[in-house]
Amino acid sequence: MSETAVARRLTWLTASVAGAVEETPRVRTLELDLPGWPGHRAGQHLDIRLTAEDGYQAERSYSIASAPGGGVELTIERLDDGEVSPYLVEEAREGDQFEVRGPIGGYFVWDGDEPEPVLLVAGGSGVVPLMAMARHRARIGAASPMRLVYSSRTWDDVIYREELETLGLDVVHTLTREQPPGWTGYSRRIDTELLREVALPASESPRVYVCGSTRFVDAAADGLLELGYEPGWIRTERFGATG
Amino acid sequence: MKLDGNSIGGLMLELFGDDMTTAGSICGSCGAREEMARLDVYTGAGYVVRCHSCEAVMVRIVEGRGRTWIDLSGTASLELG
């Protein structure tokens, strides 16, 4: 019994930065080397703990962007007044080390073994855990249809812009602040009317994953409920600007 | 700042030794049952977890000096596993 308890106990692991990719001017993906990592499910997150020389510690949660079965990649947005994200986005170099706790969460996950169609709704960097689901679906060749409705401020702020076109899912972009010349897509915040046009029909009983700021998640979830979605279909994850 | 129960998943996993985001939690005030991930979490000096239905305080967590205090008096029950 104690063996099981010990095995399930969460411990801090030491992660090393193994690589980095600039996604947008404010967003970077870090590839981690994580000895002892037990593997993860699409949608899970982990906690990072940084310790300063004087012993001061700061912890933040970050969603895992990579599909299960591969390595661990995090995609992190720089928050200007943050304590952790400016280091991770701008300063962390290959070989840098910090502590990691995870994987975390059995609620906001999609394993790809259910036949229902999947609707992903992302606000900004809320796309990160949804990207793990999209990559997982492509990787395992899941038959369930998947659609991503993705709200960004500008075209240059769209994370994973090129890769999203290659994963075999429908992607609907809306650009809320500025649109490139000739833009024919949506250009407003996600609301009931926009979802009425682009969400999967309620008659298909889709699985829904919504990730973004609290305000974004509330607007999207309320809109979907108005369209006849049942609360049990909708899983949400809110992130805050603590950076 | 208002977040949700996913945000304290790591802390709860460390404290309880199990994933708590899927734990069924019953509000001591209104009796609503929700998975912990769906509860409202307010962060500040510690964490205050409120019922998503009636906003009553269900859990308070404070960390400091290497110890953790958990006040569960607003929670009628937690269902794990």
pLDDT tens-digit readout, B27-61: 999 999 999 999 999 998 899 999 999 999 999 99
Distance between CA atoms of A155 and A147, rounded to whole angstroms?
Answer: 19
For residue A215, the chain B residue with the least C-alpha distance is B2
Q: Which residue out of A3, A9, A10 would a mutagenesis test of the B interface target, given it has the greatest number of B Cβ atoms within 10 Å? A: A10
Residues of B with CB under 8 A from a CB of A: 1-7, 9-10, 13-14, 17-19, 21-22, 35-38, 43
pLDDT at A213 over 70: yes
Domain with CATH 3.40.50.80 in chain A: 118-238
Q: Which of A203, A195, A213 is nearest to A233 (CA)?
A: A203
Two structure tokens written together for A196: 């009425």
Q: Which CATH number fits domain A2-104: 2.40.30.10, 3.40.720.10, 3.60.15.10, 3.40.640.10?
A: 2.40.30.10
The Cβ-side half-sphere exposure at A57, using a 13 Å CA radius, reads 11
Q: Any chain B CB within 8 A of the CB of A102?
A: yes
pTM: 0.94
* Cβ pair B3:A107 closer than 8 A: no
% of chain A beyond a pLDDT of 70: 95
**Which pLDDT belongs to residue A8?**
47
ipTM of the predicted structure? 0.91
Burial B65-80 (b: 16+ CB within 10 A, else e): eeeeebeeebbeeeee
Distance between CA atoms of A14 and A33, rounded to whole angstroms?
Answer: 9
Domain with CATH 2.40.30.10 in chain A: 2-104
**Which pLDDT belongs to residue A147?**
98
**Which pLDDT belongs to residue A243?**
60
The topology under which CATH files domain A118-238 is Rossmann fold (3.40.50)
Cβ partners under 8 Å of residue A122, min gap 6? A130, A148, A149, A150, A151, A210, A211, A212
Q: Do residues A190 and A221 touch, judged by C-beta distance below 8 A?
A: no
Q: Which of B1, B10, B37 sits opposite A240 (nearest CB)?
A: B1
Question: A235: which chain B residues are within 8 Å (Cβ-Cβ)?
Answer: 37
